[in-house]
Amino acid sequence: MISTKAYSLFIVSLALAFTSSLSFTAPVFTVKITNNLALGSKPIIISCISSKLDTSSQVLFRGEPFGLMFNTDQSVKWSCDIFSSSGAKKTSFVLFDLDRDKSRCRPDGLCLWQINPDGFYLYVASIQKYQKQFNW
């Protein structure tokens, strides 16, 4: 028979082991945007900024991805300027906003975007398909 003291010590030890295994870090998100323009199209240039971080301008050729990884205590909103290298198209939009996107991205925190000839598409996890979000 187990004594009350031994049993209490076991329960306390179990509780401590359980709580020490919990992670109290902010959720991590990965945002990936892929140039999905037509074959032979000129590359695009993308530059994104948050309240705390700024990416340098990146040149993306067709099929190339651009990615950001961050936890939500670093930044909860990323805005991007995207323009074609020919200068024919230019736009700015909010790539990630925690309040808007936490329920639209995948449960593992992956947010997938495509740059298409007619606009910018987000993979909406709840319907498992890309949906147009912004025009060029």
CB atoms within 10 A of CB 72: 15
Per-residue pLDDT, 73: 67
C-alpha to C-alpha distance for 55 and 46, rounded to whole angstroms: 9
- The domain made up of 25-135 has a fold known as Immunoglobulin-like (2.60.40)
Per residue, the 3-state secondary structure of the chain, as one string, reads CCCHHHHHHHHHHHHHHHHHHCCCCCCEEEEEEEECCCCCCCCEEEEEECCCCECCCEEECCCCEEEEEEECCCCCEEEEEEEECCCCCEEEEEEEEHHHHCCCCCCCCEEEEEEECCEEEEEECCCCEEEEEEEC
pLDDT string in tens for the chain (136-residue length)? 554 444 333 333 433 343 334 444 667 899 999 999 989 889 999 999 887 777 778 999 999 999 988 877 655 789 999 998 777 789 999 999 988 898 999 999 999 999 999 999 999 999 999 999 998 8
Per-residue pLDDT, 11: 39
